[in-house]
Every structure is written in C-alpha cells, then in structure tokens.
Structure 1
Amino acid sequence: MPQPSAQVTAAEISRIAGVTRATVSNWRRRHDDFPAPSGGTESSPLYDLPAVRAWLDARGHTAAVSPLEELRTSLRLHPQGGGAAANLLPLVLTTARRTPDELTALTELPDADLAARANGAVSTLAETVPGAEASRFSAGDAPALRALVRCVRDEGGEGALGVLAERELEDSATSGTYRTPDPLADLVARLVPGPPSRVLDPACGSGTLLTAAARRGATELYGQDSVPVQARRSAVALMLAAPDATVTVHTGDSLRADAFGGLAIDAVLCNPPYGDRDWGHDELAYDPRWAYGVPARAESELAWVQHALAHLVPGGHAVLILPPATASRASGRRVRMELVRSGALRAVVALPAGAAAPLHVGLQIWVLQRPEPSGPERRSVLFVDTSEEPGTVRAGGTTEAGSRGGTRGGGRASLDWTALTDRVLTAWAAFTDAPDEFTDEPGIARAVPVVDLIGDLIDLSPARHVRVSRTDIEPAELARETDDSRRRLVAAAGSLGRAAGHVGWQAAGPVAREWRTATASDLARGGALTLLRTAPDAKEPKEPQGAPSVPTATAVLTGEDIARGTDPTGDPSGLRPDSTPVIAAGDVLVRSLAGGSGPMVRVAAESDEGALLGRQVHLFRPDPARLDPWFLAGFLGAEENIAGASTGSTILHVSPGRLRVPLLPLEEQRRYGEAFRRVHELGAEARRTTELAEQTARLLASGLTGGGLIPSSTGTGPSVPSDSA
C-alpha cells in the first residue's frame, strides 16, 4: 500500500520557505495555483507536503531551506515515520567525527553506496550506543541520510540531534520524559563537593545531568534509562559533549534490573520519574537497597533515593530532583525519619514553580551523602527556600524551558538562574564548611537540628523551616521600605507613559508590506556582519582581528542578562579570555534559548563593552556601513523569526544562521532602527514598572497581615511613625 503524503501547516511552510507566515498568507490569496488544503480544519488547514515543495521549487524558494529544515522535512516524508529518527541517532555520532569535506563527499554517493556506508558506520557503535545494531539502512533511506549528513556538516551534531528529538524522542508529559535544562543541571552537579570523577544517572533521559557532570570534570559517565530510544539518545549526546570521557549507557529499568549492580561511585545525579505506582513495590519488597525502610507503593521517589545511596562509596554524594510531596507525604515518614536520623540527608532546596516540569509545581533538590563508618556525626540538615526568589518575575507571558523540558505558555517568566544558583551554593558551601556554626538567613536558609526534625510528621518542606515572621522586622523600617517602593513605582509609571508617547506608526496599506530577505548566514558570507559564539569547550579562538582587547578578569554577558536587561553578571572562571569573543558597543546579542519573558535580543551599549560572551548567547557584529544595529536587532528578535529559526520540542535552540533580515537601503534601515529602539525602551519601562508594582503589593500585603503595618486613617497613603512612637 502506498504511504500517505505528509501534511504541513502554514507555519511549517513558512519555515520551509524561509519566509514569514504573513508571506504564506499572501501567497494563498494571490496565487491561484497555490496548493489547496488537503486536510485539517478551516481555521487550521493542512497542505500536502510534496505539492507544497513542488510549488516552492517552481518559484525558487527551496534555496532558502536550511539543513535543519531539510532534515525535518525528510523525516516527515520518510515511510518509516518517527522510527526513522531513532535509527538515525547513531549516525549523528559517526558523522560528527568526520571533516566537512568528507561529509560533502558522502552526500554525493549513489543511494545504495550511501546506505552501505551508513550500515558500516553504525556497526562500529554496537558496543557503545544501545540499540545501534538495530539501525539498518537501504537505498530508500538515502534522502534522510543525505539530509542528516548535510545537517551535521552545516549545523553540528547537537543541531541534528535536536531535530531527531522532535520526532521519535518527543519530550512530553504523556511519555513521562523531560529534558533537564542546563542551568538546573549545572546547579545539581555543583552541589557535589569537589569535582567527582565517576558519576551515575540511573534515569538518564537525554543525558543532561551527566553532561553537566562532565563540564565539572567527570571522566567516567554511567547512565541507564528504561526508554530504549532515550538511552540511545543519551549515549550519543554524551559522546558528543564529552568526547574525552568514558561513557557507558544501558537500557532498562534501574529499579527492577540494575545494569550497574555492585558499582560504587563518587556521585549520583538523577531526575527520576514522579508518581510511579508501578515501580516494583511487591517484587522488590526484600531488596537489600532498602537500608532506610521499604518504600511504600506511593513512594517511588524514596525508592530512587535509596537506589542512589546504594551506589555510592562511603562519603559519596547523591543529588536528586524530586516533587515536593516527597518531603511531607504520610506514607514516606518512616523512610524520611531514617534518612534524617542516620545523617544521610544533608540538604533540601525548594525551587520556584516553573524551574522544573511539571511547571506549575515548585520541585525540590535533595542532597544526600552515604554515611561513613566511624565518620563525623551529622547533627543538622540544611534547608534553603528559593521558591520566592526576588529575581523571579511573576508577570504573565511565555515561560523559559523548564525541568526536563519547558513550555511556550504559562504564567511565570524566566527565572534568574544566576541569582538562584549563587544563593543555593553560597548557603551549601557555608554549611558544608562548618555545619554546627552555620548562620541562619531568615526566610532563605536555616540549618535545623536533627532532633527538631524527628517527630510524627517529619515534614522536610523548606518553607516550613525557614519562613520568617514579619513581626521580626521593626514596623518603622517596614513602613519606610514600603513607602520607598511606592515612590519608585510612581516614578516608573510616569516614565512608562512618556515612553509610550514616543513610539509612532502608521498603517502599511491594504495588505502587509513584503520584502526580500536574506539569512544571517548569507549576510555573513557577504561580509555585512560577523557571527560569533563562545565554543562549548572554549578551545578554538573565535575573535576576529581588530576586536577589543581582552581584560584579564571581566564579567560575562548571559542570556539571563539579556532577558532581564541587566549589566553582565556571569562568572568568567569557566571561560578562557584568549579564546572567547569580547563584546563591543553596537554588537547585536541574541539568546540561544528561545522562550521566556523579556527581550530575546539586545544591542550592546558602552556599559557592555569588554564583557565576555556567554555560552548561551549569539553575537552578530554588523558592518555599520551596511547594517544598522537597531534595525538588525528588531528583525532578529521578531517572534516569527525566532520561531522559524528554532529547533527542539520543549527547549528551543535558536540557530543564528537561519534568522532572516529584510534587504533594505541603509537610510530606511535607520528609520526602522529608531522605531525599534523606542519600542525597546517601552518594553524595558513596562517590565520595570510591573516588577515594582508587584514588589510594592507584596510588601503591603505581608506588612498588613504580619502586623507591621496598619491601615491609615485616610486610607490614601503611608503613615510612617516617628522613631519615638
């Protein structure tokens, strides 16, 4: 039976053709021969993909298709469907090890020869990539094979891996798999004291936690996952990210069939499945791993905790990301009591909602340490609460990628990962240095004696132990703080009104304006701009001649800085200044992770000059004689442009070379640039005003409920008592 043709939406057509969705809508209205819908609904029509490609090819639009989009399209047309993505996974690793010239030669081979080469390549990975031996190719797979080779050659192995993950490896709540985002993975890895050399993740998923461990210097990485294609994905991702490390990944359920039985290692990092009642409670009732008590059927998370402890050498650390109910459910109180009583539990950190999937729940990080025979007595547990992190904006809008995944909708804006990480690590370092001398930080961190934790409930929720009462703050001080916040809010509201009045516009006409566009890659090849990015390992010099000199110590501009509009705040210790791009005034900076609140793009000001470029930021350096920086920033940061240049399902990575820019005269660019600059100022004032309004409301609410503030007699303004009152 012939396979049905793949169908695409209007948004997918815009990505294939490298144009905006408005352009696709104009094509539909103006060209009678544009393919008619072949499915879908009136409001969301679907189009036959081969017919669309033929129509675009006849008009020369297929030249705009990026290697990523070509691979995506080839997978949609493949008779095997999503299974083709899983089969192609091992080839990402083998092709990434070849030179660009070798890859070009592969694309020119006849179909049968290309398939034979692919079969030979994956056969060499049977011992290192789970399921690689099942990947077999024929001449019919040649279009997908060529698309993959071109994608790896032009976009790199990680870019190709992201496209494959959109198909067979879709991260979703339905499959129970989520990708832990890099900032959270780095925080988890840094909670292990000292750089561990041997690290295990028994539910490794996409391998993000093990990759973070490799960035800290781990040389032996062990992973296991019950989803075969996830284990395969993890092995490929780890060997791409840490080519010098020894990587061992197996398929299977770690609780029922531990592939690393008897292995004792330095550290375990894990983001296990949550709420799994079928984890093997009955068949594992007498398992020797349950040294702290048999976990209840509803406590699969406590089974993972004890599995992690069982794999540690004495004194080794385990760090797990767990749901908050694990800290308080009645069914787990006996196991929690033994974990506390034995000294195995060292710290519990509460994360803000939106930091991890499920995004509406504030997850927790548990830090554990396997007790050492005749080791020191552990008399307290550290609790840190970042659920109300001041840098976290709660305005509406899109949400940054979350734990093991992300979302493009929701109520919480992107987190201030830099501030959150610093707060947690500072408290943890002080606690590990001198647990008995730890100075509590009211409302944030507290070391609680073990004897105070053991009781009927043994509730380990951080908020329960670190909360601060407003009665601890002098009423006069609270009133002054609230009035200061209110005054700054009034001033910000005035600035917002003035900024709104500076933006001018007019209708383009009966239909939206159209223009010819070019990709950033095309503009770079033509010399109109230079594309720069900090290399993952910071080994290869990326800075062109004539760039600003590198200071011996400087800050790093991060993606969070762009989103928040702050000065560079990143730590330069992980970068080599002699091989990291240095920012100059007028550079256009784009966050590499799409989503979240705040701007995606920033034009570097004089205050940014000399800062190092963060790893998750792309730098576009325009030739001022050919490109206006604000014009470039305005179009690069357009929502549809970012969406069309992004890959991934939950965490969206921006491919800088795919971003498109209209081809306009410089004088017209400058008019657009001035408009974009004023729009940027309007957005910045709006975010500042929103943050101050929420801060003032929180101060008022907490002051009134805590007794530090009382309603004034007039009800219209603050009443600040004198010091003598």
Structure 2
Amino acid sequence: MPQPSAQVTAAEISRIAGVTRATVSNWRRRHDDFPDPSGGTESSPLYDLEAVRAWLASRGHASAASPSEELRTTLRLRAQGSSGTSDLLLLVLAAARHSLDELTALTELADADLAARVDGAVAELAGAVPGADAVHFAAADTAVLRALMLCVRDEGGHATLGVLAERELEDSAASGTYQTPEPLADLAARLLPGTPASVLDPACGSGTLLAAAARREVSELYGQDSLPVQARRSAVSLMLTAPRATVTVRAGDSLRADAFPDLVADAVLCNPPYGDRDWGHDELAYDPRWAYGVPARAESELAWVQHALAHLVPGGYAVLVLPPATAGRASGRRVRAELVRGGALRAVLALPPGAAAPLHIGLQLWVLQRPEPGGPERKSVLFVDTAQATADAGGGADHSTALQTRTRGGGRAAGLDWSGITEQAVGAWEAFTQRPDAYEGEPGIARAVSIVDLLDELVDLTPSRQVRASRADADPAELSAELTATRRDLVKAATSLGRAADSAAWSAAGAAARAWRTATASDLARGGALTLLRTVPEASRQAEKSAGGVRDAGVDGVVVLTGSDIARGSGPTGSPADLRSETAPVIAAGDVLVRGVAGGSGSAGGLMARVAGKEDAGALLGPQVHLFRPDPARLDAWFLAGFLGADDNIAGASSGTTVLQVSPGRLRVPLLPLEEQRRYGEAFRRVHELRAEAGRATRLAEDTARLLAGGLTGGQLLPSEETALAPRTKRVNSPR
C-alpha cells in the first residue's frame, strides 16, 4: 500500500519555493487550487508535501531549497517503514571520499545501478560505525540517495551529517543532548600540554572535543556515548575530520559499562552530562575508580572527574567542562579536598555565561593531572576568571565563534569574545605550568592559591572567589593611571557618538512606505551583477582549488574573518586552524560580508552584514560567512550590505528556530538605478558608523565602571570629599 506523504508548514513551503512566507499566504488566498490543509490546526496548518510540490511544479516554481533543505524534505518523504537514517551514515563517509565529478556521475545513474553501487560502497566501510547493521538499498531509496550525495557534493560531509543527526535525534526523542561549541572545544584542547598521541572522550556526543584534538594532530581518538545515534554520528564526523587518525567510538554508558576498561590514554577531554542523580551511585559504590572518595548521589560530575583520571597515564592531563556548582557544593567537599590534597587538580577556569549550554550559567574548565609516582610535589592550584573577556556582541554558532542564542529562561546570551577568553585562559595556564611556584598572577583575573589555603571547611574552588582576594595587591598608582586613560577614551567616544547620531542621512517617505521590486541574490549572481563566494567544503576542495580567488589556509601570517568579527565590528581575529578547509576565498576591499548564522530574532546581538575595508583585505573568509562581490558598475556595496543585513531579509532567507541558518541565494535586493543605490548606500554607511561608535562607547563605559568599582572595593581608589558632599541629583544630571 502507498505510504502517506509527509506534511509541511507554510514556512517550509516558503523555503522550498524560495519565496517569503507572505507570498505563501497570498497563494493560499488568491488561488483556489492551492492544496487544502491536511493536518495541523487552524492557526498552524500542515500541508501534504507531494500535493504542494505538484502545485508548485504546475505553476513553474522550481525548487529553490538548498541541498541540505532538499535532503531534509526527501528524508521526510522516505517510506515510514525504513530504519531511520542510521543506514545513511556510512554513505556520507563513502560519498565524502569521492570527487565532485564522481558524485555528479553517481546521481545520474539509473535507480537499480545507483542502489547497487551504493551497496558496494557502504559494504566496504562495514564495522566503522558502532551499531550500524548491514544495510541494503533498493530502487525506492534512490531519491534520498541522490539528495544525500548532492548535499555532500555542494555543502560537504559535515553539513550532510548534521541533517541526518537532526532526524535521528527527533526520532529517538533524545533530550539534554548539547553540542560543545567549537571555540570551547578548541580552548579545552589547547589546555593539554604538548601533543598527546591518544585522547579519550567518555561522553563524546557529536565528537566536537575529539575533533578539536584531531586538529592538534592527535593520532588515536577514542569516544563513547550513551546515545547510539550520537556515537554513530561522532564516529563518522571524526573520520571526515581526521581521515589519517585511528578512530574508535563505542555506544554505552561509560560509568556503568565502560567500553575501554583497559585503556590508559595520554589525555581526556570531556563535557559530561550534568545533574544526573541516576548515574549508578549504588551499584558502583565499590568501584576502583573512586580513588579520591565515593561521589555522593548528587555529585555525578565528580564521578566523571575520577573516571577521567582513571583512564590517564601517569602524568597525563584531563580537561572537563563542568557546572559551577561542582566547585562549591557541600556534598562534594570531601572528594574536592582529596583531589586538591593529592595534587590531581591543577587549575579551575571560569567561563562567562553563554559559553555552552546551559547558557544562563557560567561553566568551568577543570584541568586535572594524574599524579606520577615520585613526581614533583604540587603546592598550588591555578584559578582564572575569564568573565571580563565577554564582548558586547555575538557572532555566528555552530561553527562560528559565538552565537546569539536563547537561554532556558527565555533570555539571550551575550556574544563572547572567544579570542580574548582563549588568550586569557591559555596565557595564564602556560605561565603557571612553566613556573608554578613563582607564578604572580593577574589581579582580579588569575591567581595561584596554595593547597594549604584551599583545604578549609568548605574547599570552595570557585575561581571568582579565589581571584578576588588578589585585588588588594594591585598598585593604586597603576590602577589610577589606567582608569584616567580609559575615562579619557570614553569621553572621546561619547563625542564621536554624538556626531554620528546628529548626522542627517534620512527623511520621511511620506504618507505610505515605499514598495520595492526585488530580485534574489541568486538572480543577481546569474545576471553577473555580483559573485557569491564561500569557504570550500571538504568534499569539493580538490575540484575548486584551481578555480581562482582562494588561498592555501596554511600560509603563515594569514588571518581569518569570522562571524563574531562581523557582529562586533572588529578586524579579522580568526586563525586558519579554525577552518575545516585547506582553501578559502580571499577578501578584497569592497566585498560585502554576511554572517551565515543568526539568533532567532534575526540580527539581534550584533551586525549581520558589513562592507570589507582595508583592514579586512587579504584575510581569508571564515566558516559560516558569505561573501558577496558586487560589480561596482551595477551595484553599490553599502547599498547591498544595508539591504542584505536587514532583519526581515535575514528572517525570510533563513531556516531554523533558535539559531537561523542563512541561505545567501535567497536574500533579496531592491532593483534601483545606481545613482539611487549610492544615496541609500551613503545612508547605510552612516548607520554603520553610528552602530560602531555606540559599541565602542559602550565597551569603554563598561571598562571604566569596572575599574572604578574594582578600585573602590579593592582599596586602591578612595571617594573624593567633593563626591561625598555633592547633591545626588547633581551627580546624576551633571556628570563631570
């Protein structure tokens, strides 16, 4: 019997057709033959996907969806009796090993021939993915096979894998599975001294931490996860990321059923589940891993800490991402005391809220080292508080350096300056490891605390409490000089902000808002008005290396422009090591740069688009950043940037909910004469200056307030008699 078709929302129809949601609403009202809802509710109707596709085809609307969106749609149409998407994971790996031309040729085969070729390719990789059963594809599967190979060809294996994982996680009703952001994973990997040969992640999830280790040329990667779908995804992802490394991933609960009981690795990286009271406290009470004490039922995190230490070679390091309660909860005091007393805990580094889920709390990085018999005595523990490294705006996610993302409480996490956080954390850690007994620290940010001082009745390992005690050591004269310079810069910035706000770059349109006749960026690119460039996906590297406009990402001295650079309005700050590609487009002055990801409210949390200036020229284009190169004889760059980065435009060309993935070809631009474009462009340029000056003034105001508050509470600054005697209203209304 025929299987029922999948159902889609109006928003999904708009993505398939490459139009706005308003256009779909107009179709529903104006065309009597538009498909009737087949489900849902009156306010949120659902439509039969096959009926919608047939209607669009009858109207001449070819699909404008991206390859990943087409794959999502095809997966929804796949027969309901199929075995989810686990049978397709190996195909992603096999397809990524083919060239662009080979994948194109495969998609053109007849159904029976394609199924046979795919069966053979997958059979060669049998056993590479944990729990993957032998599969056999039939002619009925060829639609999804073609969509998958086209997605690998055009967007790369990682993007394709992400689509399959979305579907699997929905099917398994998994909850509480968070991906460790790449900047955080890279920071954790950089805290491992040297280059370890083998790294274990006993709660590997999608494999982000192990991928960060692979970027440091680790040759042996071991992972385990309790969710089979995560274990399978991690295995394939790591094989794509590190084809020369030995990858071993297993499914299962690491605490209850350790898949690597005899493994001692050079290093462990882990972001374990938090707050799990059902981690096996009763059945594991006599487990030999608890060398520092049996963790309490509420202390699953300390069980993971000791599990990591048990899998290290003597002298090996572990870095774990842990919630802040682990550092001070009363139930974990005895285990914390033994970790400190035994010299296993080397450092605790506090991260700002928003570094990783759950976004509303500031997580911590614990650096541990398995003691060596006869090794050096550990006399102190390093504490670092990176909360002051937060920036005023966010950048791109998933694979960008920061995301504007909803928190569980409904608020939003501020964007993070990952470059500043990493520099601060790694700099303090490296200085401490070089001379632990002579480390002087940095007032209010980093401090080495003696083990004797930590072993009190609380054994509180919260970094902010430990580094706060060092503020009194700051020199009053130095702090005063720094405050004076910062305040002077603030006054200059406020003056510049006033000038930018007074600039008259606009006037009222009249009784009604102006209506636009627009074209998509894809249409403009086909007409030669602009060129759309991107960082080359891994599956297409070799095919596009000779296409021009790209540079080897390994060249010394080259920097990368990231999504967070666009959001903050800063120059390029990324490293070529952050790229997943060997080649990337080179940015030229006058290019228009658009972030590839945004928060659920469009451009909230920072700029979405800007025109590349001289400081950007020569930098490489980072991941999740789209580059539009306009023909100056046909398109004004600032006009293009202003309309491409508009909230409504971004929302209409994006897919997703909490985090929006921007499809650059679907962004729309008004069709105006060049002279009129230039007038709009000048207005957008002044708006950009206003935003930049506002951001600079805000940062300086926050720095000034922080220095003042810290100096007053630390004793380096004293309130003046004039301030104490002045009326409160005067102090508010007449700032000096």
Q: Which moved more, 1:88-97 or 1:360-369?
A: 88-97
Residue 432 of structure 2 corresponds to residue 442 of structure 1: no
Residue aligning to 1:156: 156
Q: Is the 8 Å Cα contact of residues 292 and 306 (structure 1) preserved in structure 2?
A: yes
Residue aligning to 1:66: 66
Q: Which moved more, 1:547-556 or 1:273-282?
A: 547-556
Give me the whole-angstrom Cα distance separating, in 2, the residues matched to 1:593 and 1:562.
Answer: 11
Give me the whole-angstrom Cα distance separating, in 1, the residues matched to 2:123 and 2:675.
Answer: 58
Give me the whole-angstrom Cα distance separating, in 2, the residues matched to 1:3 and 1:263.
Answer: 48
Distance 1:93 1:685, change over 3 A: same
Residue aligning to 2:248: 248
Q: Which moved more, 1:118-127 or 1:74-83?
A: 74-83
Secondary structure at the counterpart of residue 348 of structure 1: strand
Unaligned runs of 5+ in 2: none
Give me the whole-angstrom Cα distance separating, in 1, the residues matched to 2:610 and 2:423.
Answer: 24
Q: Is the 8 Å Cα contact of residues 380 and 436 (structure 2) preserved in structure 1?
A: yes
Distance 1:436 1:115, change over 3 A: same
Q: Which amino acid aligns with 1:604?
A: A
Residue 608 of structure 2 corresponds to residue 604 of structure 1: no
Residue 527 of structure 2 corresponds to residue 517 of structure 1: no
Decide which of 683, 687, 695 is 1:679's aligned counterpart. 687
Deviation at 1:374, TM superposition (A): 0.8
Secondary structure at the counterpart of residue 62 of structure 1: coil
Secondary structure at the counterpart of residue 249 of structure 1: strand
Secondary structure at the counterpart of residue 287 of structure 1: coil
Residue aligning to 2:9: 9
Residue aligning to 2:566: 562
Residue 631 of structure 2 corresponds to residue 623 of structure 1: yes
Deviation at 1:341, TM superposition (A): 0.8
Residue 531 of structure 2 corresponds to residue 529 of structure 1: yes
TM-score (normalised: structure 1): 0.88
Give me the whole-angstrom Cα distance separating, in 2, the residues matched to 1:280 and 1:572.
Answer: 43
Residue 148 of structure 2 corresponds to residue 140 of structure 1: no
Residue 717 of structure 2 corresponds to residue 714 of structure 1: no
Q: Is the 8 Å Cα contact of residues 201 and 209 (structure 2) preserved in structure 1?
A: yes
Residue aligning to 1:392: 391
Q: Is the 8 Å Cα contact of residues 398 and 407 (structure 1) preserved in structure 2?
A: no
Decide which of 506, 509, 516 is 1:506's aligned counterpart. 509
Deviation at 1:702, TM superposition (A): 5.7
Give me the whole-angstrom Cα distance separating, in 1, the residues matched to 2:467 and 2:213.
Answer: 30
Cα deviation code 1:402-437 (max 9, x no counterpart): 999983563332100001100001001100101011
Deviation at 1:15, TM superposition (A): 1.2
Distance 1:452 1:589, change over 3 A: same
Give me the whole-angstrom Cα distance separating, in 1, the residues matched to 2:348 and 2:167.
Answer: 36
Q: % of aligned pairs identical?
A: 66
Secondary structure at the counterpart of residue 431 of structure 1: helix
Residue aligning to 1:195: 195
Deviation at 1:39, TM superposition (A): 3.7
Distance 1:98 1:175, change over 3 A: same
Deviation at 1:176, TM superposition (A): 1.6
Give me the whole-angstrom Cα distance separating, in 2, the residues matched to 1:690 and 1:479.
Answer: 16
Q: Which amino acid aligns with 2:535?
A: R
Distance 1:639 1:39, change over 3 A: farther
Residue 384 of structure 2 corresponds to residue 371 of structure 1: no
Q: CA RMSD in A?
A: 3.8
Q: Which amino acid aligns with 1:429?
A: E
Give me the whole-angstrom Cα distance separating, in 2, the residues matched to 1:172 and 1:453.
Answer: 44
Q: Which moved more, 1:164-173 or 1:538-547?
A: 538-547
Secondary structure at the counterpart of residue 204 of structure 2: coil
Q: Which amino acid aligns with 1:562?
A: I
Cα deviation code 1:670-707 (max 9, x no counterpart): 45434433433343344344444545555666667677
Q: Which moved more, 1:93-102 or 1:347-356?
A: 93-102
Deviation at 1:382, TM superposition (A): 0.4
Residue 415 of structure 2 corresponds to residue 407 of structure 1: no
Q: Which amino acid aligns with 1:75?
A: L
Distance 1:163 1:664, change over 3 A: farther
Q: Which moved more, 1:637-646 or 1:430-439?
A: 637-646
Residue aligning to 1:213: 213
Q: Is the 8 Å Cα contact of residues 543 and 580 (structure 1) preserved in structure 2?
A: no
Q: Is the 8 Å Cα contact of residues 542 and 581 (structure 1) preserved in structure 2?
A: no
Distance 1:151 1:399, change over 3 A: closer
Distance 1:314 1:51, change over 3 A: same
Unaligned runs of 5+ in 1: none
Residue aligning to 1:288: 288
Secondary structure at the counterpart of residue 169 of structure 2: coil
Q: Which amino acid aligns with 1:45?
A: P
Residue aligning to 2:330: 330
Secondary structure at the counterpart of residue 121 of structure 2: helix
Q: Is the 8 Å Cα contact of residues 642 and 654 (structure 1) preserved in structure 2?
A: yes
Deviation at 1:145, TM superposition (A): 1.8
Write out aligned runs for 1:161-200 (5 A): 161-169=161-169, 175-200=175-200
Q: Which moved more, 1:601-610 or 1:270-279?
A: 601-610
Give me the whole-angstrom Cα distance separating, in 2, the residues matched to 1:399 and 1:686.
Answer: 21
Give me the whole-angstrom Cα distance separating, in 1, the residues matched to 2:189 and 2:526.
Answer: 37
Write out aligned runs for 1:443-482 (5 A): 443-467=444-468, 473=476, 480=484
Distance 1:479 1:516, change over 3 A: closer
Distance 1:371 1:702, change over 3 A: closer
Q: Which amino acid aligns with 2:612?
A: A
Give me the whole-angstrom Cα distance separating, in 2, the residues matched to 1:32 and 1:689.
Answer: 56
Secondary structure at the counterpart of residue 609 of structure 1: coil
In the alignment of these two chains, the number of paired residues is 716
Q: Which amino acid aligns with 1:713?
A: A
Secondary structure at the counterpart of residue 132 of structure 1: coil
Secondary structure at the counterpart of residue 297 of structure 2: coil
Cα deviation code 1:295-351 (max 9, x no counterpart): 111111111111111111111110010011111111111111111111111100000
Decide which of 574, 585, 590 is 2:594's aligned counterpart. 590
Residue aligning to 1:225: 225
